[in-house]
A and B are shown apart, each in its own frame.
Chain A
Amino acid sequence: MEEPHEPSLTLKEAPVGEAWLHKRTETKDKAIAFRKFRIRRLHELFIEKFFFLNGLFAILILLGIFSLLFIKGFPAFRELGLKSFLGSSVWNPNAYSTPQYGILSLITSTLMVTFGALVIAVPLGVACAAFISQVASSRVREILKPAVEILAGIPSVVVGFLGIILVNPLIAKLFGISNGLNALNGSILLAIMSLPTIISLSEDALPAVPNTYKEASLALGGNDWQTLIRVLVPSALSGIIASIMLGMGRAIGETMTVLMATGNAPALTFNFLDAIQTMTSTIAIELGEVPYNTTHYYALFVIGLVLFVMTFVVNLVSDVILQKYQQVEK
């Protein structure tokens, strides 16, 4: 019988007859199958790399934003020096005499209004979270939880709008001053906006505390309230603090609400009944009017950079706290 050339078969191994025919096709099939397998593997690899790139995209954006802010803000640093930004509290780039780029008052105003917001939102938010997770009946919970979600969805313009129309005269009447566009107004509005964040995250943290803690306290003779205050809340503390930090980040970065309701006076003041101007408002007010690539334009990016760094740090701290919290639980 004529044997077709098969380099892999020696005369000795060559099978005979039908069995041989079978084995030959089997090998060819194997080769084809192996090639197919290799292609599939390559295909899979491409797909995996594709998804990997998508994941990497997030890092790219974050780095992109940071570097853009830095690059665009750098000319202002170079021209004016760090001192003129951080050492002065007068922000007046279009001044009558010499332009001033001091951002201290902008920073303090942002911090003031954030602090005010937290003073209102933290006790209220944590208490509400405790209420939802520990005390409320399931029917009440069915109302409150969606309510908090809806509150989270209300746009900042709408809140600012009501700040001008409702809160403004209220504050004016309450404190007997001539108008209510000030830091207090901003704080109240920001508190309303950070409440959902604080409530949802604290709520997640509270029932996460193991039942064993709860039972131990009750076994020792404490009543429900004491259990809550002395055991549950402290052990959920890191989760709660993380939620507060996130709410704080939200307040620092909020633009429209403060733009509409705080009066926008760039003076340095610590009086909550005074009008103030936050960093975010400054950018929102002035970005539209500056011709591109002027010192004023670059200076706005410096403010953006400061904002970015502040929220970055707050987020980082919140992350670290959450990490420790998860470790403790383990």
Chain B
Amino acid sequence: MKKRLTERLGFLMLYLAGILVLFFLGVILFDIFIKGVGALSWKFLTQPPRMGMTEGGIFPAIMGTFMVSIITVIFAVPLGMFAAIYLNEYAQPGKITRLIRLAIRNLSGVPSIVYGLFGVVLFVQMFRFGTSVVSAGLTLGLLTLPWTITACEEALKTVPKSYREGALALGATKWHSIRTNVLPYAIPGMMTGVILGLSRAAGETAPILFTGAAFFLPHLPKSLFDQFMALPYHLYILATQHHAIEKVRPIAYGTALVLLALILLLNLSAIWVRYRYRQKMRG
């Protein structure tokens, strides 16, 4: 009897745990949606802020986030892919390979503000890029790199060995066999990882705080070496540093909603790519 009771209670607790986690997510999404949807409009998305940011829209922030993300992708994707190809296709088990894997795992645990520190010294000062789209994009690229490598490696792993062996048996060189028989099948999986990494980078604030994000710019960045506005930084400022905090609260919520929507969109497209990829692999 007692056993039954503990069993019932035990499973009830587990059930509650699941519900609680859903509840947290629900509260976050619901609150942001309800209080942010009122601020959304076509004007909100396409106009710059006005009247000290109490009116107008957040277009420059959307654009800025977009531009920085492109730099991040250009930097992190090739590097990540190549490193993953090395790890999965060429690397021999040994000390160096273990070290590389250790380095990757540790890099993914480094705090984002430490990446920011690194970015300030390396890109802003040493390379003299100044606070700019480039500096911030490269810093975010470094942040995303461990993730990209891991995701690409996972994608490569799912390609069956036979694909490679078949090509090699026909006389192709190793690189040739990778290029024609492995990569095409791994690319969708890689894309999933890249998109997810990108969605993480788009939401990061700490690395761009000192490498290029700005509070209020009257124009879009004219070059890659200009400062830029960004959605997460915009939300941060609206929530903590603005003079009419109550007045701009709806705009802050709107910004949060746009940011969340962007990230959700990226996540959904990654899931969709993964789904199509799985289907193809099965068929």
Contact = CB atoms under 8 A, between A and B. Distances in A.
Given A48-B90, A164-B239, A157 B205 contact: yes
A154 B256 CA distance: 10
Contact of A312 (B109, B118, B263): B109
Contact of A161 (B10, B22, B256): B256
- Among A68, A136, A161, A311, the one with the most B-chain Cβ atoms within 10 Å of its Cβ is A161
13 contacts: A48-B90, A51-B83, A65-B110, A127-B13, A127-B17, A128-B20, A161-B252, A223-B3, A223-B4, A228-B10, A253-B112, A307-B111, A314-B109
Interface in A126-140: 127-128, 130-132, 134-136, 140
Contacts of B66: none
Contacts, number: 251
A57 interface: yes
Contacts of A72: 121
A37 to B, nearest CB: 10
Contacts of B96: 56
B61 to A, nearest CB: 12
Contact of A148 (B21, B27, B86, B252): B21
Interface of B: 3-4, 6-7, 10-11, 13-18, 20-22, 24-25, 27-29, 31-32, 79, 82-83, 85-87, 89-91, 96-97, 99-100, 102-107, 109-118, 120-122, 125, 142, 145-146, 149, 173-175, 196, 199-200, 202-206, 209-210, 232, 235-236, 239-240, 252, 256, 259-260, 263-264, 267, 271
B219 to A, nearest CB: 22
- Among B85, B113, B145, B260, the one with the most A-chain Cβ atoms within 10 Å of its Cβ is B113
Given A127-B17, A143-B22, A307-B114, 17 more contacts: A55-B97, A58-B107, A65-B118, A68-B118, A124-B20, A149-B267, A150-B267, A155-B202, A162-B32, A164-B239, A166-B31, A195-B21, A226-B7, A250-B109, A253-B113, A287-B117, A315-B106
Interface stretch (A4-12, A20-28, A74-82, A254-262): A254-262
Interface in A30-83: 40, 43-44, 47-48, 50-52, 54-59, 61-62, 64-65, 68-69, 72
B259 A40 contact: no
Nearest to B179: A47
A67 B230 CA distance: 30
Contact of B117 (A47, A69, A160): A69
B203 A288 contact: no
A128 B22 CA distance: 10
Contact of B7 (A57, A225, A255): A225
A17 interface: no
Contacts of A140: 18
Contact of A225 (B10, B17, B146, B174): B10
B100 A44 contact: no
Contacts of B122: 64, 68
A93 B99 CA distance: 38
A128 B21 contact: yes
Interface in A269-295: 280, 283-284, 287-288, 292
